[in-house]
Structure 1
Amino acid sequence: MANGQQRAGENLTAFRAWAQSKSDVDFREYVYRGQLKRSEIFAECGFGRSALAQNPAIRAELEELEAALRKRGVLPAAGGGSDAVDNKPAIRDGQAKQRRQESQRLNSLEQENASLRAELGKAKSMLERCKLMAAFLDETGRMPR
């Protein structure tokens, strides 16, 4: 079992990998009340909300990520003054996550289907070869070299 420092490093690595795998469009799905929704992030990263409180590196990187997203216009500006009323909140596509999961599943099924087709082709060629051997044995009574 990993100690606390190792676990913190693993959690930080998981968070970094998650953040790098997302585009601005993906981040728009996580916007909630002017910031990224922590519960969904941590669920996808595979650790609990307590990691944010106990791991200052994750907290700092999350704040940097949100600041970068604000600069790019993905997140609304912090503060919530009169500017926040004028800006419309980003519309979240509730079905995007499901479509992405279905797309990933479809890709894996297509790969599995292609590998099974290749395996079936090999099996058919082996069967044909065995049929030829059996026919030769029936005709001659000898095994070919």
Structure 2
Amino acid sequence: MANGQELAKENVDKFNDWLKSMTDDDFRVMEHRGSLKRKLVAKGCGFAVSVLRQNPKVRALFVDLEDDLRKRSILPPLKEKESPNKDESQELDQDEAKRGTQAAHANRLEQDNIELKAKVAKLTAEKEKLEQELEKTGRKLNRLDAFNTALAEVGRLPR
């Protein structure tokens, strides 16, 4: 069994391998409220979400990743938190809320679309395999039918 340091190193390697496999579009799909969904990141890396918080090297790599994505405009910039002592009333911008809802809906639809494309590809491959098996079975049936006909003509039918 690996000790804590070895496990931490493995998690850093998993994170780096996952990072190499990702594209900008993949990161856009994973965006939620201005940052990456940690649950999806952890699932993609193959470790628990707690690793993103507790492993200092992974946490630093993740923060650097989000900063880099913000610089490249893949993630929106961080908003500065307003002080709660402001006397001005804070009204909810309805258009911004609607855009956020539409963006979240679009992300869900895009994720569903990716999953459905994968299922279609899998089913298409299975269909082709079954068609090949059906064709083999049909050829075998034709040969057996011809053999049965020949035996019937000779007068030697099997019991």
TM-score normalised over the length of structure 1: 0.73
**Mapped pair 1:101 → 2:115:** yes
Q: Which residue of 2 aligns with 1:133?
A: 147
Does residue 44 of structure 2 align to residue 30 of structure 1?
no
Q: Which blocks of at least 5 consecutive residues in structure 1 are unaligned?
A: 83-87
TM-score between both structures, scaled by the size of structure 2: 0.68
Task: Give the aligned residue type for 1:113.
Answer: K
| Ranges in structure 2 where 5+ consecutive residues have no aligned partner | 83-95
Name which of 115, 124, 133 aligns with 1:110. Answer: 124
Indicate how the Cα distance of structure 1 residues 107 and 76 shifts in structure 2: closer, same or farther if over 3 A, else same.
Answer: same
**Offset, 1:62:** 1.6
Task: Flag the 1:122–1:11 CA change in 2: closer, same or farther, 3 A.
Answer: farther
The structure with more radius of gyration:
2
What is residue 60 of structure 1 aligned with on the other side? 60
- d(CA) in 1 for partners of 2:126, 2:69: 37
Q: Give the Cα separation in 2 of the matches to 1:131 and 1:2.
A: 63
Residue identity opposite 1:108 in structure 2: K
